[in-house]
C-alpha cells in the first residue's frame, strides 16, 4: 500500500528488547484521516508496534530500534518525545483516568503544555468532552472524581483527555477490550466520528471490530522460529477480510488460530 501523503510511515523498522527481536523490518504507510486497524495473534508485537509512533517504547530499558519512523516525513527519533506526544495521542487498553476530577483529567494535557487561562481551559474541556460524546453525561459533575464514572465513561474520558491536547494522530491500544458490549459499541461509534478530524491507528484483538470500524487493516504475525513480529499484509479492510493475499491471513481472520 502506497499513499501520496502518508501521515505515519515506517521504513525497514525493527525493534529489539535486549537480544530478542520483537519487530522485523516493517514497512507501512498510514493515511491521514483514516482508521487503520492492526490485527494479529497475542505476542506478535501489535502494541509494541503501536507504541513506536509516540515513542512509548523509550520507557522500557534495553530497547533498541533500526530503520526509520516518520510523522509527516519528520523522523520521530529526531524529535523530542514530549513534543512528539503533543501530536500523537494515545488511548490505552484499560481506562486509566487520574484520581482527579473529571475536569482536571481533561485539563491535564493543556495545563501540562502551559495553558493557565481558566476560560480557555474550560472551553478545551467542554470541546473535548463533547467530541468524546461524554459531555451530556458529566456536565453536571465536572468536579466529581473520574473514578466514580463507569468503565465505558472512563474510557471516553480518556479519549477526551487525549483530544484536549489537540493531537493529529490518536493511537488506540485495544481501547474496548476491557468494556462490555454496549460500552464497546459507543466507543466504536465515537472512533468513526473522530476520523473526520484525526488519523487513528487502532490495535484490536477483535476481528469483527477491525472489520466494522477500520478503513485499512494491517496483519502482523510472529515468525515461527524466533517469534519476531512482521507485517504479513496490509490493505483496504474490505479486501483483507474478503480476499486476503496470504493463506495465513485467511486462517487468522476466520478464527482458525490466534
CA separation for the pair 56, 128 (Å, rounded): 23
Query: 3-state SS of 150-214?
Result: CHHHHHHHHHHHHHCCCCCEEEEECCCCCCCHHHHHHHHHHHHHHCCCCEEEEECCCHHHHHHHC
| The three cell numbers locating residue 46 | 501489535
Is residue 99 a contact residue for other proteins (CB under 8 A)? Answer: yes
Is residue 98 a contact residue for other proteins (CB under 8 A)? Answer: yes
Q: What is the dihedral of CA 99, 89, 172, 28, to 10 degrees?
A: -160
8, 15, 23, 90: which one binds other proteins (CB under 8 A)? 90
Report the site for other proteins in 147-176 (rule: CB under 8 A). 147-148, 158, 161-162, 165
Longest Cα separation, the chain? 57
Residue 145 or residue 177: which is nearer to other proteins going by CB?
A: 145
Query: Of 1-9, 64-72, 104-112, 235-243, which segment contacts other proteins by CB under 8 A?
Result: 104-112
Is residue 82 a contact residue for other proteins (CB under 8 A)? Answer: yes
- As measured in angstroms, the least distance from the Cβ of 66 to other proteins is 20
- As measured in angstroms, the least distance from the Cβ of 61 to other proteins is 6
113, 227, 239, 246: which one binds other proteins (CB under 8 A)? 113
Mark residues 184-223: x for contact with other proteins by CB under 8 A, - for none: ----------------------------------------
Tell me phi and psi for residue 11, to 5 degrees.
-130, 115
Coil vs helix vs strand at 227: coil
- As measured in angstroms, the least distance from the Cβ of 158 to other proteins is 7
CA separation for the pair 88, 82 (Å, rounded): 10
Tell me if 112 sits within 8 A of 192, measured CB to CB.
no
- Using CB under 8 A, list all residues that contact other proteins: 54, 56, 59, 61-62, 82-83, 85-86, 89-90, 92, 94, 96-100, 108-109, 111-113, 144-148, 158, 161-162, 165
Amino acid at each position: 500500500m502506497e499513499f501520496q501523503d502518508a501521515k505515519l510511515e515506517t521504513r525497514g523498522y525493527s525493534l529489539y528488547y535486549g537480544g530478542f527481536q520483537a519487530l522485523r523490518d516493517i514497512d507501512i504507510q498510514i493515511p491521514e484521516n483514516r482508521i487503520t486497524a492492526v490485527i494479529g495473534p497475542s505476542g506478535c508485537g501489535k502494541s509494541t508496534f503501536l507504541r513506536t509512533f509516540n515513542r512509548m517504547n523509550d520507557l522500557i530499558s534495553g530497547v533498541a530500534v533500526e530503520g526509520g519512523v516518520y510523522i509527516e516525513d519528520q523522523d520521530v527519533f529526531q524529535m523530542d518525545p514530549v513534543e512528539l506526544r503533543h501530536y500523537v495521542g494515545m488511548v490505552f487498553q484499560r481506562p486509566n483516568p487520574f484520581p482527579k476530577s473529571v475536569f482536571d483529567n481533561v485539563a491535564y494535557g493543556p495545563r501540562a503544555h502551559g495553558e493557565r487561562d481558566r476560560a480557555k481551559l474550560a472551553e478545551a474541556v467542554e470541546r473535548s468532552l463533547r467530541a468524546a460524546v461524554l459531555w451530556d453525561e458529566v456536565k453536571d459533575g465536572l468536579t466529581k472524581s473520574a473514578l466514580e464514572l463507569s468503565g465505558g465513561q472512563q474510557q471516553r474520558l480518556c479519549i477526551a483527555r487525549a483530544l484536549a491536547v489537540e493531537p493529529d494522530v490518536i493511537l488506540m491500544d485495544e481501547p474496548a477490550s476491557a468494556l462490555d458490549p454496549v460500552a464497546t459499541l459507543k466507543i466504536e461509534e465515537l472512533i468513526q466520528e473522530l476520523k473526520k478530524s484525526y488519523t487513528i491507528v487502532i490495535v484490536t484483538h477483535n476481528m469483527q471490530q477491525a472489520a466494522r470500524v477500520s478503513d485499512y487493516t494491517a496483519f502482523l504475525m510472529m515468525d515461527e522460529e524466533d517469534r519476531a513480529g512482521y507485517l504479513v499484509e496490509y490493505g483496504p479492510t474490505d479486501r483483507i477480510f474478503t480476499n486476503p493475499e496470504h493463506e495465513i491471513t485467511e486462517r487468522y481472520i476466520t478464527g482458525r488460530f490466534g
